[in-house]
Structure 1
Amino acid sequence: MLEEIPLAGGNVSAGVVRVGDTVRRPAGPWTPAVHALLVHLHEVGFRAAPRPLGLDEKGREVLEFVPGDTVWPDRFAEVGPRARLARVGRMIREFHDAVAGFTPPPDAAWRVVIPPEDDGGGEIIAHHDLAPWNLVTDGDAWTFIDWDVAGPGSRLWDLAYAVKAFVPLSADPGWQRPDAAARVRVLADAYGLDEQQRRRLAPMLARRSRAMYDLLATGHANGTQPWARLWAEGHGEVWRRDAGYAEIHEEEWLAALLR
């Protein structure tokens, strides 16, 4: 029998193990729909997602193991150069275009923890957590992992989260960048946003961070895990400050987007 090697990293990774060339993780009502999504992505040629391999004898979902390491936080320099940041924007556009033709199973159950606020709520099946902590790189191979919270969403809501995370738009002086506005523009250009979408994206950047804060605050109040634990660890305050930072600089983001 192959050894089970616990995989650390991330904030909600309890019970995730590597077994040979596979990853096993707790399944949920959403797993069949997520696996149908991943099958579709590979069928239409999108390779920046793991292949689903069903369930194991313990009822855990099985995915192909993706070699490499996550970019956040120790390897964030990998997406520092603008050309590599642009690759992230193109990957997200390729995913959104690839998923546009996906028809979910009629009994699909999704685990969307932060529904989109805009009127594109059913526009696509979004990832909802496109961030450097879910980007695994191994040389030229780049893969987005952790599709558990995929579900109905919108292109802009999905992209706004990625912009916040990959620029990053952070209130922490250790992560702030003097070229933050330019990096917002790089992602928008690489994705291919039109002017109307850019005008909608600028104020959405703060609201997307605020939505994360609200999720953790509600989880803390209700005792819902893992959000209550993350709140206790200080993540709520981080998202609150980040939302304020993005809001204060909204005009700067908009000017860069429209330049």
Structure 2
Amino acid sequence: MPTPADTPPEQPLTGGNVAAAVVRVGDTVRRPAGAWTPAVHAFLTHLHDVGFDGAPRPLGIDTTGREVLTYLPGTVPWPDRFDLLGPDAALRRVGRLVRDLHDAAAGFTPPPGAVWRRLIPPDGTDLVVHHDLAPWNLVVGDRWAFIDWDTAAPGTRLWDLAYAAKAFVPLTADPAWQRPDAARRLRTLVDAYGLDERQRRTLVPLLAHRARSMHDFLAAQAASGAMPWTRLWNEGHGETWRRDAAYIRARERQWTRALLG
């Protein structure tokens, strides 16, 4: 049995907007658990059971009540290493990773009485999805994997993909992050995912809608004083999402031409 001296020290992990008290202990990550944790762990276990390795493996709950997950070594691209996602090959890899995730999720049956931390109502509930597929939740290493699964919940492929496209292309009104090749990068991501024509036509208006839903969520939470959302609102995240949604909507014809041309 390990003694206290044998126990690896806790190393704080930083970088998230909402996760608090996340630490690394040896080859594991410890995070605050919630009512949703059993359902999320069942989902992650299913993903690994069907061969999807782009997510941490759940290891249960520790003696202090924290969830335990395998630690995934690598680099989180946002914000300082977004260059890792600049090449088309990297964007195609992201698109295939998202598709593999959704295909693996399609066979999952939630446990009875499953509780999910669903923050924003999606456009449907076809399968359990991540809801926050973005460069701040991607680990780039020997294997690429998504982290921070607290908000995994029922949703749809296109709802999840719309958020991912906004974040990974990226589609933004911020001049510091705008890309002159945004339309082409959107096509690259969608081609790698493998949408058919009907799905591409459905995705285009969903891009702005998904971005606007983030603004509306933060506005509602700030109005009630809920944390950490009020802090994010006060820091300007809500306004950023509003501007990005307007930018995306104003260019819907451009996105459509890129995806169908």
TM-score by length of structure 2 reads: 0.96
Deviations 1:33-57 (A, max 9, x none): 0000000000100000000000000
- The offset of 1:83, in angstroms, is 1.4
Deviations 1:196-223 (A, max 9, x none): 1101111111111100000110111011
- The offset of 1:68, in angstroms, is 1.2
Distance 2:189 2:152 in 1: 21
Partner of 2:98: 92
| 2:134 corresponds to 1:128 | no
Q: Which amino acid aligns with 2:149?
A: W
Partner of 2:140: 137
Deviations 1:39-80 (A, max 9, x none): 000010000000000000000000011111211111111111
| 2:67 corresponds to 1:61 | yes
Aligned residues: 255
The answer for unaligned runs of 5 or more in structure 1 is none
- The offset of 1:3, in angstroms, is 1.1
Distance 1:46 1:251 in 2: 35
Distance 1:126 1:8 in 2: 24
Deviations 1:12-48 (A, max 9, x none): 1211111111100100000000000000000100000
Counterpart pick for 1:225 among 207, 227, 236: 227
Counterpart pick for 2:207 among 205, 208, 211: 205
Deviations 1:165-206 (A, max 9, x none): 000001111100010001111111111101111011111111
Partner of 1:195: 197
- The offset of 1:2, in angstroms, is 2.4
Using the aligned pairs only, state the percent identity.
67
| 2:160 corresponds to 1:154 | no
Partner of 1:242: 244
Deviations 1:67-123 (A, max 9, x none): 112111111111111111011000000000001000110121000111212xxx221
Counterpart pick for 2:49 among 18, 26, 43: 43
Partner of 1:27: 33
Distance 1:51 1:115 in 2: 27
| 2:256 corresponds to 1:254 | yes
Distance 1:183 1:220 in 2: 34
SS in 1 for 2:115: coil
List, as ranges, runs of 4+ consecutive aligned residues in structure 1 with deviation greater than 2 Å.
none
Distance 2:75 2:87 in 1: 18
- The offset of 1:226, in angstroms, is 1.3
Distance 2:179 2:140 in 1: 22
